[in-house]
Amino acid sequence: MYKRLERNDPCWCGSGKKYKACHAAFDDKIIKAELSGIEVPTRQLLKTEKDIEGIKKSAVINIACLDEVGSKIKAGMSTEEIDRIVYETTTKMGGIPADLGYEGFPKSVCTSINDEVCHGIPSEDIILQDGDIINVDCSTILDGYFSDSSRMFCIGNVSPEKKRLVDVTKECIEVGLKNVIPWTRIGDMGHAVHQHAIKNGYTVVREIGGHGCGNEFHEEPWVSYVSKPDTGMLMVPGMVFTIEPMVNMGTDKIFIDEENDWTVYTQDGKPSAQWEVEVLVTETGYEILSY
């Protein structure tokens, strides 16, 4: 249960203001929602001004990595070269690649091509071919703060079918952003994303979704993009999470590579696409922190 402080106590957010002049009314709204049976974020999930400033500085590096990849990616380069670009850009700017060593992941970035849904491992042996689509998923730590985002890249002459999948998946992000509405449920946002994908003839991966991010790499809430309306955690100003639907051209069924225990593939071998943004819920809507 959310606990109210005494009116003249210092506010829990660290602002230095008295509770009554800072987050007292805010907490009343959360307590009311919680008493009605709605899942609400803990105070630990709500980012302070200091936290947000730190996440934004981390995101500057994350965005720079993806910009640099975008300026150099082409047919004939290995995914190991992408990994080097990300590692060198991150460390040069004072950051740490969050992927490197995370639960044993061996590289600084995820590179997922065509029917690879996510968590593709860069390699000198994987060479980008004309017509490939690839997701580059980058995550950064700076001064203990985490940023996380990914982009799709079309290599050379991509088929109209693949290009449409990439474009519609980006539209799903835009639909999700429009539905980041403070004091509504996160399931409403996920449902809107799912409906847009279905309307265009695609499916959305069920087992893997977005997540809270900022003070840790992966925080609550887990964010589904096949959710139902009026479900999930209340979206409250100060929350930071990722919007990252994985949209498949064919079935939503997936499997994990048995050899590396990381790379996720579509079961039917058809392409998958994913874009990812890290967003802050604000009093009036949202702010994109990393893209």
| The pLDDT of residue 284 | 96
Contact 122, 105 (CB under 8 A): no
Residue 149's domain spans which residues?
49-290
Q: How much is the pLDDT for 203?
A: 98
pLDDT in tens, 39-54: 999 999 999 999 999 9
Q: Is residue 1 part of a domain?
A: no
**Is 108 within the bounds of a domain?**
yes
pLDDT at 188: 98
- Would you say residue 1 has pLDDT above 80? no
pLDDT digits (tens, 9 = 90+) for 63-112: 999 999 999 999 999 999 999 999 999 999 999 999 999 999 999 999 99
The mean per-residue pLDDT over the stretch 191-209 comes to 98
Where does the pLDDT of residue 2 fall: very low under 50, low under 70, confident under 90, or very high at 90 and above?
confident
Q: Which residue has the tokens 């539905």?
A: 179
User: Which residue spans within the chain are E strands per DSSP?
Assistant: 96-97, 110-113, 116-118, 133-142, 145-154, 203-204, 210-212, 219-223, 240-243, 246-248, 254-256, 264-266, 272-274, 277-281, 286-290
Residue 144, sorted as left (phi over 0), alpha (psi -120 to 50) or beta, turns out to be left
Q: Residue 192: what pLDDT?
A: 98
Asked, for residue 75, whether it belongs to a domain, the answer is yes
- What is the tally of structural domains in the chain? 1
Q: CB atoms < 10 A from the CB of 157, how many?
A: 9
Tens digit of pLDDT for each residue in 212-260? 999 999 999 999 999 999 999 999 999 999 999 999 999 999 999 999 9
**Is 54 domain-assigned?**
yes
In a domain, residue 115? The reply is yes
- Which pLDDT band holds residue 3 (cuts at 50, 70, 90)? confident
Q: What is the pLDDT of residue 146?
A: 98
Q: What is the mean pLDDT of residues 4-21?
A: 94
Q: What is the pLDDT of residue 6?
A: 93
Please, which residues bridge with residue 139 across strands? Answer: 148
This prediction's pTM: 0.95
Q: Is residue 42 part of a domain?
A: no
Contacts of 152 (CB under 8 A, 6+ apart): 133, 134, 135, 166, 169, 170, 273, 274, 275
Number of C-beta neighbours around residue 188 at 10 A: 18
Q: What is the pLDDT of residues 123-174, one digit of tens each?
A: 999 999 999 999 999 999 999 999 999 999 999 999 999 999 999 999 999 9
The candidate with the shortest Cα–Cα distance to 109, out of 94, 95, 98, is 98
Mean pLDDT, the chain, rounded, equals 97
Parallel/antiparallel/unpaired status of strands 277-281 and 240-243: antiparallel
Alpha carbon distance 289, 241 (integer Å): 10
**AA identity, residue 49:** E
Q: How far is the C-alpha of 278 from the C-alpha of 220, rounded, in Å?
A: 14
Q: Is residue 6 part of a domain?
A: no
Asked whether the predicted pLDDT for residue 198 surpasses 90, the reply is: yes
* Residue 139 counted as domain residue: yes
Q: Could you tell me which residue, 27 or 4, shows the higher pLDDT? A: 27
- Give, as one character, the DSSP assignment of residue 104: G
| CATH, residue 83 | 3.90.230.10
